[in-house]
Chain A
Amino acid sequence: MFTVKLAGYTIRVDNRYDFVEKMCKQYISETDTVDFTVSVSTEDMENEKLLSPEEFSEGYLESLAIYRHIGEEIGRLGGFIFHSAVIEYKGKAYAFAAKSGTGKSTHIRLWRKAFGDGVGIVNGDKPIFRFVGDELYAYGTPWCGKEGFHRNVGVPLGAVCFIERGESNSIEQLPKKEFTEYVFNQVYMPENGESCLSILDMLDKMSETVKIYKLKCNMDIQAAYVARDGMVSEE
């Protein structure tokens, strides 16, 4: 049993395997009052096994089940998991989303190459998004994909960018009528009805307040410049 602080939520984790506790070491909290507790049943483990594309260790499967429970609970507390790779640039977070294999990780490496230390990682795969007042923030968590990219930070979201492979590089704003089609695929939608309703309301607010783009790009460093120039306004 240990306690973590993720995206401002204090969560007690009732674990059986060491894996998840080691994974969370940068997020450990000593607080006694918690927002909620998660524990994993044998049925949850079986469920994760069924959903996994390959054979994983019990410890890893437990960590997946724990994050699924966290995704279920944070909805009603005003947060959700948004499948994307998030970087920080000039004080804002930029979330890149794509079908797996399209090259989110490749693209954020291009940003790193182009803008060096001006680019910080937030989370490589499964950040938590949460409204702080009227502003949506992206938070690092240790559930972050195989590269292990994550930092324990919360950064106000500058934009979300959907990546598609293209011959050349171009960026445009996503028309609002395409919002649900694109965004819903990236959100962990809880089975818990109360959390689900709260998330739908947050997504509606997100559609009003967050800029969303579609980037067609190749793997050339130019892609990072096109994305940056399209999304980051000069002050």
Chain B
Amino acid sequence: MKIKEGFILRDVAGQTIVVAVGKMSKNFNRIIKLNSTGKFIWEKLSSDIERDELVASLVAEYDIDEATASSDADKFIEALKGADILEC
């Protein structure tokens, strides 16, 4: 799965911001703010990645157990699916 085309990510004033551009800007809450974990997951999902791979990368990056990483990843994935910005 991966995030659809049409989003740009930048750090502004110490805050990670995602803005929808092009066609995506029409039917979308334009601006999303991400915390550091959100930014990490977003960047992973910018190129095609399997859920298990994503969970493994969270475990490695944040030194957390697999159950926590799974739950974090699933919550984020569900939110993106809910906003219809993830292609599976």
Which residues on A are within 8 Å of B, measured CB to CB?
A: 176-177, 179-180, 183-184, 189-193, 196-197, 200-201, 203-204, 207
Contacts and interface: CB of A to CB of B under 8 A. Distances in A.
A179 B30 CA distance: 17
B46 interface: no
Contact of B10 (A176, A191, A197): A197
Interface in B12-44: 12-15, 17, 19, 21-22, 25-26, 30-31, 33
Nearest to A208: B13
Contacts of A204: 10-13
Q: Which size bracket describes the interface of B in this complex?
A: 10 to 19
A180 B21 contact: no
Interface string B68-79: 000000000000
B33 A193 contact: no
B14 A177 contact: yes
B55 to A, nearest CB: 29
B10 A177 contact: no
A197 B6 CA distance: 12
B13 A179 contact: yes
A26 to B, nearest CB: 32
Contacts of B13: 176-177, 179-180, 183, 203-204, 207
